[in-house]
Amino acid sequence: MARINSNSPSMIAQFNLSRSNDNLQVRLQRLATGLRINRGSDDPAGLIVSERLATDINGVEQAIKNGERASSVISTTEASLSEVNDLLNSIKALIVEGANTGGNSKEERDANQLQIDSAIRSITRISNTATFGGLNLLDGSLDYITSGVDSTEISKAQIFGASFIGTTQFQVDVDVLTSAQKGALYLEPAVGPLSAAGTTSSVTLAIGGSRGILEIDFTSGTTFAAIVTAVNSRTSLTGVTASLVNGNATSGVVFNAENYGTASFVSVERVNKPTAGVDPTIYKFGNNEPLAAAFTFADAGLVTANRDAGRDVQALVNGALANGDGLTISTNSPILSSSLTLTEAFAIDPSIAASRFDIIGGGSMYQLGPEVSALQQENVGVQSVAASKLGGVLTSGVMQFLASLQSGGSNDIESSRQRNDFSIASSIIDESIDETTILRGRLGAFEKNVLDTNKRSLQASVENLSAARSVIRDADFARETSELTRAQILASSGTTVLGLANQQAQSVLQLLG
């Protein structure tokens, strides 16, 4: 070949040397960065997938941090509640000691009252000062805000969790399906040792309820009104109340459990019956219905019995059947978790229209997933543990709270001693302890069953996503070093070949002599 204007071998050598150098630069870049994909041109599809995986990893890692922060908030709250629990237990002991009026002087009772006052003030102080990073934990700031709660229908509303999906408020409808009832037994007059006027011989009745059982002796000639008075004077011992059937002194006696629900019962039975004696006839309603306005012992629903339990209220909350316990209904779902104490008038009358109120805000929302959606969020409400909010017990239609145990309150030691009844104070402190421990239990369950499991699940996701991204994005050093060696050899040989190709064109000078 004797043409010199176009040196084709040299051009071929240049092109191949350029590719070898480009390949060498790619290998050097991958080994320097540790990444197989450094630019979109390295692997367009792989770049898209790896960046999406990186986004997922960042979201999951932040969700893990959110969960750890939530766990810290819950732990701090639970620690403060533990102190409240200890104070409540000490108050319980002081109430029990104060009730021992036969063994304590007035000075000792006054000293106990001072300790109760101090403990209650400490509980309120903890409620106001428990904080985490500027968040007030126990003063009600993290509780849900309700609007439109009708106090004639719902005496106490506790919202533990509510999901606001696409709205700024949550409507709650409560519709009573089946009425709450008290256990009831009906003592028929003019049967056995009874006449229309009362007892015709000595009768001993064992009357029992949720508080205990007590034998009461009635002499011959005791009127039904006197029987009612005797039973009611011992209600604090038995948990049983009594009244005249139809309000008539000759129509018999109805014995009622003190409270509503299946956990409350009444039992009446004659004891020490003479050999030839006849027991009084005692009935209950077989369908567990209440005393009718025009009650007679000829009612077909009556069956003989010595014991009767009450019935829990059944109600629909937003169309879903709620769990009933006496006058209280509760729900536990991702949409709504609540405990509602119904008033007696509302709970025993299913004909009353549904009660409606709104949850208009509040609570604390925790973002526990990588995507901002309701399915990856948890809502928790933390109620105030101030003395004015804790331990609500419905007594004679009035809610009594822990604050009423302070000096001058309606249920302090002196007031309870004067009416010789510490049962209300005991019920309030028991309810306060239950509310606090239940709240601690809810927070503990949230931390253990939601936060901890969510953290472990997210950590596994980070591991798997990172491994998947590594397969796509990271460089294989064994392969890249092998390709680097190849590229170096090709670049070196290409340089040599290019030199030979340029020398080949100079051979035409020999033809010019």
Please write the tens of the pLDDT for every residue from 458-504.
999 999 998 988 888 878 788 878 877 887 888 788 888 877 877 77
| Any domain includes 202 | yes
Token pair of 194, please? 């009874």
- Tell me which of 216 and 292 has the higher pLDDT: 216
Full 3-state SS string of 254-320: EEEECCCCCCCEEEEEEECCCCCCCCCCEEEECCCCCCCCCCCCCCCCEEECCEEECECCEEEECCE
> Do 144 and 359 meet the contact criterion of CB atoms below 8 Å apart?
yes
| Any domain includes 216 | yes
CA gap 318, 322 in Å, rounded: 9
Q: What is the pLDDT of residue 196?
A: 85
Please write the tens of the pLDDT for every residue from 326-350.
999 999 887 888 999 999 899 999 9
| Any domain includes 488 | no
The answer to whether residue 360 scores a pLDDT higher than 80 is yes
**Confidence at 315, pLDDT banded by 50, 70, 90:** very high
CA gap 40, 47 in Å, rounded: 6
Q: What is the pLDDT of residue 397?
A: 67
Please write the tens of the pLDDT for every residue from 238-294.
999 999 988 888 888 999 998 899 999 999 998 877 766 677 888 888 765 555 556
User: What is the bridge-based pairing of β-strands 203-209 and 154-162?
Assistant: unpaired
> Do 472 and 47 meet the contact criterion of CB atoms below 8 Å apart?
no
| Any domain includes 221 | yes
| Any domain includes 299 | yes
The residue range of the domain holding 234 is 184-309
| Any domain includes 276 | yes
CA gap 310, 393 in Å, rounded: 19
Query: Average pLDDT in the 211-228 region?
Result: 92
Beta strand spans in 135-294 (E): 135-136, 144-147, 154-162, 170-178, 184-187, 203-209, 213-218, 240-244, 253-257, 265-271, 282-285
Please write the tens of the pLDDT for every residue from 168-185.
788 999 999 999 999 999
CA gap 464, 468 in Å, rounded: 6
> Do 226 and 253 meet the contact criterion of CB atoms below 8 Å apart?
no
Q: What is the pLDDT of residue 459?
A: 92
Token pair of 121, please? 């003030």
Please write the tens of the pLDDT for every residue from 30-78.
787 878 878 877 788 888 888 898 888 999 999 999 999 999 999 999 9
The answer to whether residue 13 scores a pLDDT higher than 80 is no
* Cα 494 → chain centroid: 75
| Any domain includes 141 | no
**Confidence at 81, pLDDT banded by 50, 70, 90:** very high
| Any domain includes 292 | yes
Nearest 10 degrees: CA dihedral of 475, 481, 487, 489?
A: 180
Which residues have C-beta within 8 Å of that of residue 402, sequence separation ≥ 6? Answer: 120, 123, 387, 388, 390, 391, 428, 429, 432
Query: How would you classify residue 491: left for phi > 0, otherwise alpha for psi between -120 and 50, otherwise beta?
Result: alpha
> Do 255 and 184 meet the contact criterion of CB atoms below 8 Å apart?
yes
Average pLDDT over the chain, rounded to an integer: 86
**Confidence at 299, pLDDT banded by 50, 70, 90:** confident
The sheet carrying 336-342 orders its strands as 154-162, 336-342, 328-332, 323-325
Q: What is the pLDDT of residue 98?
A: 85
**Tokens 């012992």 map to which residue?**
297
**Tokens 């403060």 map to which residue?**
80
Q: What is the pLDDT of residue 286?
A: 72
CA gap 171, 325 in Å, rounded: 23
Number of domains in the chain: 1
